Amino acid sequence: MTEEDTLVREESTVVRTVGTSEEGPVTPEVPGRYAVRSEYGRGGQSRVLLAFDGHIGREIALKELLPEPGPDGTPRSASQSASARFLREARITGQLDHPNIVPVYELGQHPDGTYYYTQKLVRGVTLKKVLAQASTAAERLKLLSHFADICHAVAYAHARGVVHRDLKPENVMVGEFGETVVLDWGLAKARGQKDMRAREIAQESQLMRSPDATVAGHALGTPSYMSPEQARGELEAIDERSDVWSLGAILFEILTGRPPFDGETAYSVIRKVIDEPPPRVRLVLRDAPPELAAVADKCLSRESSQRYESAEEVAQEIEAYQSGGNVRAYRYSSWELLRRFVQRHRALSAVSGLALLLLIAALLVIRDEAARARAALAEARRNLAQAYVEKAHKAESDFFWHRAEVFYAAARMQEDRADARWGAALDWQDLAPVERFPGAAGWISGVFFSADGNSVLATSWDGTLRRWEVESGRELARISEPAPLGSGASLSRDGRRIALGLRTDRGEDLVVRDAGNFAEVARARLPAGASRSAWSPDGKLLAVGSGSRLTLFSLEERALRPLPGERAGGSVAFSPDGSLLASAEEKSVVLWQAPSFEEKRRFPADSARVSALAFSPDGELLATGGHDHLVHLWSTRTWKEAGQLQGHLGIVGLLAFSPDGKMLASGSPDDRSVRIWDVPARRMVAVLDRPRPPYALAFSPDGSRVAIGERQTALVLWDLSARFQGHEKRVNAAAFSPDGKRIASASDDGTVRLWDAASGRQLSRIDARRRVASVAWSRDGGLLIARVPDGVLLLDAASGKERASIRQEATFALAVGPSTFAIASEAGVRAYELPRANQLASFPLRAHALLFLPDGTLLANQGDGTLAHLDPRGRAPLPPLRVDADESSSLELVPDGRSVAVRHGDRVRLLEVQTGAVRSGPHQPGSSFSDLAFSPDGRVLATSELDGTIRFWDAISFAPLAGAAAPEVSSSFGLSFSPDGSVLLFLAGGSQRWSNGLHTVSLGHPEKLPPPEEHLQRALAEHGLVMNAMDLDLAAPGAAAPTHEPGMGAISAPRPAR
């Protein structure tokens, strides 16, 4: 054997004793038996070599353990644990003697101590590659026989007590001669043996659940085929049914051409596996065989108890389908059963003819057809309701609030379920002051509010001019031009005329229409494209920046007047008094004096190209934006720069002042953001980052909203209502007053502020002159107890005056009871009497959270799983309580007064104070609860998570009711209900809204919603929508919206009782 015939193995620096292992004896390698010819494949811990067995005279696959890199990078022999895992893999595989599992020939050890084992060499490609090459459903269905072989192999392993735990298309080989082989049993678990990969699997699962993970996984690979229990890291729950899930995921991909869950990162996929129900096969591919779709759907049941018990049951279902038998997972109609009977008994059918058919049909109908039909209909409605709820969630995530309401109502029509009722009742729009209106098929090029602010106009590149009603989102009017409407649209100051730049094959037309009825008023052919336009204040002239020319159009004379010279006809703007016209050139602004429109002044406005212009309403400022990513403010008295606004990361192409001139909106298509600036203070007060570039901006007449035209079909309304506006830094805590009429908030800006709970208007401000970490009300509402870094302040809620103070360094917890309050600090826990702040007791312990119980005693979380039970009145010592808690765990009293909810990581546990019994509450695997609160009536539990998600749970059964991630925030915390339970108050970290993180959500009344059919009719009519199967279409403008029962056809009146 020459040197060229062999592949040198990777040597390690440590040599082991040959012939033994902790797992049992291992055969030493016979020198010269195997001639290694090439490397066949490689993984993270082992590689497979193509070798020739000289003793038998055949090619084989030789798999050997790779050396591990040492601290200095030098290869070292594999660790003892890695070697043990490798030997276990070889022995488990060797014990599985099945035609669809590669047999193991020999387990051995090289002279240097490295372990190897040899197997049959299977030449072929992976099922993953075969699926990728199958471009049609018909080609993929040809793989069904291979899938049946996989099921038989896994079923055999299950019968031998082995669970694979890593089934996926890339671990299945399709041979050159049609054979099917299940590979890579390295993660397999054998019943009755130590699970040597448990720790590795748990760590890998935890890594995938981290949003910071940047790898697709080492031990587990992609989680697209992983069961929910394995994704959550619940190793004790992984059994044969976990492999059944993976088989279902493979069958799902064979049927649809994609795995049930996919994403760009392991984290995004595993979150879907854990949180989302798998999509139904027939919703992804309507033409998929229904029997096979039912098998895949059953395999992919989130609850393992609802799946097939083993792979053998899956194999039987596939064989039944292939042979024309009945698939147990599928509910056949009577006629389907009849048709299948005839297909299986063609000879009998030919003899008996029509009589036999009629007899069989009668027998099938007489059977329990009614019960089966009712069950099938109930399941169909359940599935349809779930699909509508999912569409509602998607609409909410896209800020289509009106569409979400309709989808929730449509879900109730199919099944009046809790999540649909709660979704309809909750006002999630409180979380995000953004709403989108669908309609245009091209990007929005211009947006304008009507004079009364009740409607908004939009032009689009699809050639349409539309008007929407602001409150309902209903489309009120529409007209279609024969060509795209570009960015040259503008609305006259009085709101009566709208100018449109119409791009045609012959050039560009300027079209003026009545803004009310859309009737054409005037039309003119422009010398070049209309990039921007602006009306004079009196509405008689229109300035149009077109190509290299600046042109004036007289509405009275219907005449065009080009201004002299070659100008960069970009953005244009008239001063409020009409005396000046400003136009943008490359790096300067040109001012034209009306009415002669002679050039009056030119000044350099930017170090780069100027893209946007806007005069303030009082005419004192001219704002410019351009390619230097800045907004420049120029004094119109001196024409010198009066300020710069810095924040955008791209070209500033849009500018608009609020009607009062106090705010300026700027937009950048490059960084896809719209920013709001406080003009007098020269600072940014809000930013809206969008996934789509903005192309138009407009303030509403009252300045409370900004309309944004986006590139991809959406009109966006941004609500700037100044609820809870005032804090200059992060809000740390907030609480409702006992009567629910006021909210107190504490902030890093050193103030406590009181707000009107209904309107969000600031009532008063109390200066503490240092950071205020938390605030609480006394039970009578007369006092505010504020925790500051050096102690506690007792403040009069009416006057804001300081009643008393307690000096205590390094405080980190505060609790207020009926007549007492307590603080935790480095010095221990101290209790005080209200309202005089006389000390009652001191306890030398470190506590991280405090909670008063109804009997006046105090619980203190010590962070070690112990809750100290303290009596501030100094009575007999109380025994501590034990519960799973750490330093970050918070405590919340259950309204019945008998139990305490303890938040710890991704779980909530309830501790009964009298008995010490602990029971489980909500569990959100892969997440982390940041706070919790019970509604005053004890029926609803609200939780917040570190990613900003707010969830509502049934406080008795802990069934989930509703949930949503708050947009624009990075975390949520500080939950509290209003005394009447109608509003949830919470705080948000990373919020870029004016409230600096103070938010409320109205819960509504799920139990008071109208009946489902009435609910759907109202929602469709109010928002001008019609149901179209599983989607929504716009009703014709001005027409009454027809109502439909989704999936059941049109209805015009309530259906008669059945």
Whole-number pLDDT of residue 337: 59
| HEC assignment per residue over 112-150 | CCCEEEEEECCCEEEHHHHHHHCCCHHHHHCCHHHHHHH
Q: Which pLDDT tens digit goes with each residue over 514-560?
A: 999 999 999 888 766 556 889 999 999 998 886 567 888 999 888 88
Beta-bridged to residue 1027, according to DSSP, are: 1032
Same domain, 105 and 198: no
Beta-bridged to residue 580, according to DSSP, are: 593
Tell me how many degrees the CA angle 98-103-108 measures, rounded to the nearest 5.
Answer: 150
Residue pair 62/118 in contact by the 8 Å Cβ criterion: yes
Determine, yes or no, domain membership for 849.
no
Output the six-digit token pair for 303: 């609850």
Same domain, 303 and 179: yes
Same domain, 630 and 680: yes
What secondary structure letter does DSSP report for 83? H
* CATH code of 224's domain: 1.10.510.10
Same domain, 217 and 233: yes
Q: Which helix (H) or strand (E) holds 109?
A: strand 104-109
What secondary structure letter does DSSP report for 438? -
Chain centroid to Cα 40, Å, comes to 41
Q: Which residues of 300-330 are buried (b: 16+ CB within 10 A; e: fewer)?
A: bbeebeebbebbbbbbbbbebbeeeebbebb
Task: Please count the other Cβ atoms lying within 10 Å of the Cβ belonging to residue 917.
Answer: 10
**CA atoms 330, 332, 336, 341: torsion sign:** positive
Task: Judge whether 947 counts as a catalytic residue.
Answer: no
Determine, yes or no, domain membership for 589.
yes
Beta-bridged to residue 1028, according to DSSP, are: 1031
Helix (H, G, I), strand (E, B), or coil: what is residue 925? coil
Determine, yes or no, domain membership for 710.
yes
Same domain, 111 and 158: no
Around 945, how many Cα atoms within 13 Å sit in the side-chain half-sphere? 19
Beta-bridged to residue 754, according to DSSP, are: 744, 764
Helix (H, G, I), strand (E, B), or coil: what is residue 1036? coil
Determine, yes or no, domain membership for 607.
yes
AA identity, residue 844: P
Determine, yes or no, domain membership for 921.
no
Helices vs strands, H then E, count in the chain: 17, 72
Please give the Cα distance from 954 to 949 (Å, whole number): 17
Domain that holds residue 50: 3-120
The total number of residues shown for the chain amounts to 1058
What secondary structure letter does DSSP report for 796? E
Q: How many domains does the chain have?
A: 3
Determine, yes or no, domain membership for 898.
no
Same domain, 691 and 661: yes
Determine, yes or no, domain membership for 44.
yes
pTM exceeds cut of 0.85: no
Among 120, 142, 168, the domain boundary falls at 120
* Farthest CA pair distance, the chain: 105
User: Which string of DSSP letters, residue by residue, matches 725-738?
Assistant: ---SS-EEEEEE-T
Around 600, how many Cα atoms within 13 Å sit in the side-chain half-sphere? 14
End-to-end CA distance of the chain: 86
Same domain, 538 and 503: yes
Q: Which residues of 801-810 are buried (b: 16+ CB within 10 A; e: fewer)?
A: eebbebebee
Phi, psi of 349 (to 5 degrees): -65, -40
Task: Please count the other Cβ atoms lying within 10 Å of the Cβ belonging to residue 603.
Answer: 13
Q: Which pLDDT tens digit goes with each residue over 716-741?
A: 888 887 678 788 888 999 999 999 99
Among 693, 719, 745, the domain boundary falls at 719
Residue pair 500/487 in contact by the 8 Å Cβ criterion: no
CA neighbor of 380 nearest in space, from 1056, 1055, 1046: 1046
Please give the Cα distance from 865 to 133 (Å, whole number): 55
Break the chain down into helix, strand, coil percent, rounded to 5.
20, 35, 40
Please give the Cα distance from 484 to 899 (Å, whole number): 65
Same domain, 204 and 323: yes
Q: What does each C-alpha distance from 542 to 497, 501, 537 come to in angstroms?
A: 11, 12, 10
For 502, residues 6+ apart whose C-beta sits below 8 A from its C-beta are 481, 483, 484, 485, 508, 509, 510, 511
Q: Which helix (H) or strand (E) holds 434?
A: strand 434-437
Output the six-digit token pair for 964: 């949503």
Determine, yes or no, domain membership for 208.
yes
Same domain, 62 and 141: no
* CATH code of 13's domain: 3.30.200.20
Please give the Cα distance from 786 to 796 (Å, whole number): 11
Residue pair 924/931 in contact by the 8 Å Cβ criterion: no
Among 303, 331, 359, the domain boundary falls at 331
Could you check whether the bond before residue 595 is cis, i.e. omega within 30 degrees of 0?
Answer: yes
Task: Please count the other Cβ atoms lying within 10 Å of the Cβ belonging to residue 104.
Answer: 21
Same domain, 133 and 95: no
Q: Which of 5, 72, 112, 166 is catalytic?
A: 166
Same domain, 55 and 139: no
Same domain, 100 and 212: no
pLDDT along the chain (1058 residues), means of 10: 40 38 74 90 84 93 82 61 86 90 92 90 91 91 94 93 92 90 88 73 67 43 82 85 96 94 81 85 88 94 90 92 87 62 49 51 56 76 87 83 90 91 83 72 82 91 86 86 73 91 72 91 76 89 79 88 67 93 85 90 76 94 92 93 92 94 94 92 85 89 91 78 80 95 94 93 93 94 94 94 90 92 92 92 91 93 89 81 81 90 90 89 84 93 87 89 68 89 85 61 88 91 81 66 38 26
Whole-number pLDDT of residue 722: 63
